[in-house]
Structure 1
């Protein structure tokens, strides 16, 4: 991810800080919990795209799944940025660790 992505993540974090009805540790916990909510929406979209629920049929598309995965990603990055001011460094180091372990 480039510098602009992290600038936007930090701006969104700051916006949430200003707009949220909760603050401090509670705000951080709520942001982490939000990841689970968004992941549930991915699961719902996959079920809909695969017509796995006969009662609902094709309620979603694979494009919906893509959007929901982006929601999970953005939500997780904002949560990470809420926990540490070095979110970019933490993420990039962890990604590299995974790459080193998996791609060598």
Structure 2
């Protein structure tokens, strides 16, 4: 990447390509495994929230809010990579969906 910071969708594509080259299981299972990976990442967010709030008295406070932020980013990125695994048009699919959700939720008010 030599000094170039990729945009979100460039990074998603690069990570998808890298994962494709390093898959241990056949291609038929790939989408399912990406979705399972998403569940794993969500569990890590929960673990970080429990850790930052000290809700496990045996362990005490084990995480920071920065850990929670990082885990949430992992969830978002994993979801986008899973979407890319299902369709090469992930960017367009996501953009259309975001527009629908925004229109429905904000009554057509522009984001930002």
* Class of the TM-score when normalised by the shorter of the 2 chains: over 0.9
Q: Which residue number corresponds to residue 101 of structure 1?
A: 104
Instruction: Report 1:4-43 matches (<5 A).
Output: 4-43=7-46
Q: Which residue number corresponds to residue 48 of structure 2?
A: 45
1:61 aligns with 2:43: no
Rg larger for? 2
For residues 40-72 of structure 1, what are the alpha-carbon distances to aligned partners after superposition, in whole Å with 9 as ceiling and x for unaligned?
000000011111111111111110000000111
1:76 aligns with 2:79: yes
Q: Which residue number corresponds to residue 89 of structure 1?
A: 92
More helix by share: 1
- For residues 8 and 90 of structure 2, the distance between their equivalents in structure 1, rounded to whole angstroms, comes to 12
State the TM-score, normalizing by the size of structure 1: 0.93
Question: Deviation at 1:102?
Answer: 0.8
State the TM-score, normalizing by the size of structure 2: 0.87
Q: Where in structure 2 are there 5+ consecutive unaligned residues?
A: 1-5, 108-112
